Amino acid sequence: MFGATLVFALLAAVTACSAGSSVSVPADPDAISIGFTAEPANLDFTRTDGAAIPQALLYNVYEGLVKLDAGGKIVPLLAREWTVSGDRRTYDFQLREGVKFGNGQPFTAADVKFSIDRVKTEWTISLKSKMDVVERVDVVGPAHARVVLKRPSNNWLFDMTTRVGAMFSPSGVADLAGNPVGTGPYAFATRKRGDSIVLRANPSYWGRKPTYTTVYLKYYKDPTALNNALLSNGIDVISAITTPDSIGQFETDTRFTVLQGTTNSEVTLSFNNAKVPLNDKRVRQALMYAIDRKAVMATAAAGRGTLIGSMVPPTDPWYEDLTRVYPHDPGRAKALLAEAGQPNLRLRLRVANLPYAVSSAQVVASQLADVGVNVSIEPLDFPAVWLKQVFTDHDFDMSIIQHVEARDIVTFGNPKYYWGYDNPKVKSLLAGADTGTPEQQVAAMREVARTIADDAAAGWLFLFPNLIAAKTKVTGLSGNLVSESFDLTGLGRR
């Protein structure tokens, strides 16, 4: 039980080092404070992976031509409208006029060209490949940008709702890590590392003025400290309750409103498919048969999540229920391990030091021990250490993390992605899905989901619920979380 001992030791160290945010928030009716668990390592999502930066900045500080609404529909943002050519390769965007960046520079079609071209030339994160399909961007007029694709792409406009679609000013990219500049309703004000980020209303914002002129994004490594901050009036909103079994204290308190919705957040048991022995499909299948995912969800999410069988949430058009592909069957798991010549397997499970990941890891390790697999659990500081050692260096056997990006099943077509899955059939299906008709896309994506599920390319434990607790005065919170952003633009007050 070495792994469990290490888990508790490290969690104790984390709690001792950082009980939570310490910024004192004044009693200002025009200010709101929101609590989070995963703090950005810096503020540059063009060079730093992970969800914490776009969670804070996308749609709030940075805007794109389009965005996702709460229902997952693509809607206009900086583009007031657009048309698509008959061959589906050319997009003509008519831009809103009078839009300015936070540094006072006007937003024009030249900035669209600069921003999209810059993804291809200056971005370093893996998501930059989403712009590889762009052939060129033409500045037709100050308020008219034309994007020409190399081929038809069903994914491209959707991808423009994510961080890769964010618009930048050439005069605002000198210090993206410390001073982000966008066109959004808020401008970056200050950051206290390990504690908080402060956003101020952008006085020259083109759209509806935000209700709250100051937003404090406060970060707590300890989930108990986060919960207590709301109970003790230290914050106004918990952006996502990471310990679902604690939600009852807010549901029974009339001071608070609790929202529960769905997400794109697949809690995934990642396998290093490129590494012995996990490059053996039989081993991966054995691990899947050994795990009772309902029990994992009961422990890590108080049973409030949704069981899934592949990298597709129910909100995607190509979802189908694949949860029965690997029923809990320890006997079958042992037989497959014996067949693979791995009856006494030892694996490292390196997880983000976040409550759901550590809780899930303990259940997974116990269940794998029942079929003869010895698992050592190693919590890693998230995001910095996990991103470096697991995501970038691929130094792991298994990991557990929430994959929050929308439609991220496409990562299984990239052998360089951290789970090292390389299947020519999947790559071909994904290419066909992107260029085909909408009907062909749905059929191909379903086949991708079935293929990676059969291959046990990863272990999809459950879909994490969106659980928000807030003071009753706060309105406009969305029950569903289907984009990368914690969108502040709709917030109001009673």
pLDDT digits (tens, 9 = 90+) for 279-325: 999 999 999 999 999 999 999 999 999 999 999 999 899 999 999 99
What's the pLDDT score for residue 26? 52
The percent of residues in the chain predicted with pLDDT above 90, rounded, is 86
Query: pLDDT, tens digit, for every residue of 55-82?
Result: 999 999 999 999 998 888 999 999 999 9
Distances in whole angstroms, Cα of residue 274 to Cα of each of 80, 413, 415: 45, 14, 9
User: How do the domains of the chain map onto residue ranges?
Assistant: 63-165, 263-464
For residue 15, pLDDT beyond 90: no
If pLDDT is split at 50, 70 and 90, which confidence band does 13 have? very low
What's the pLDDT score for residue 12? 37
Domain pair 63-165 / 263-464, same fold: no
For residue 24, pLDDT beyond 70: no
What's the pLDDT score for residue 398? 98
**Whole-number Å distance between alpha carbons of 199 and 191:** 9
* Residue matched to tokens 């997952």: 72
Query: pLDDT, tens digit, for every residue of 184-227?
Result: 999 999 999 999 999 999 999 999 999 999 999 999 989 999 99
DSSP string, 381-399: -TTHHHIIIIIIT---SEE
Mean pLDDT within 252-264:
94
If pLDDT is split at 50, 70 and 90, which confidence band does 20 have? low
If pLDDT is split at 50, 70 and 90, which confidence band does 50 have? confident
If pLDDT is split at 50, 70 and 90, which confidence band does 29 have? confident
Among 404, 485, 478, residue whose Cα is nearest residue 166:
485
**Whole-number Å distance between alpha carbons of 348 and 275:** 12
What's the pLDDT score for residue 21? 61
For residue 5, pLDDT beyond 50: no
If pLDDT is split at 50, 70 and 90, which confidence band does 405 have? confident
Mean pLDDT within 122-126:
94
What's the pLDDT score for residue 126? 86
CATH architecture for segment(s) 263-464: Roll (3.10)
The CATH number, out of the four listed (3.40.50.2300, 3.30.360.10, 3.90.76.10, 1.10.10.10), of the domain defined by the range 63-165: 3.90.76.10
**Are 105 and 123 contacting, i.e. CB atoms less than 8 angstroms apart?**
no
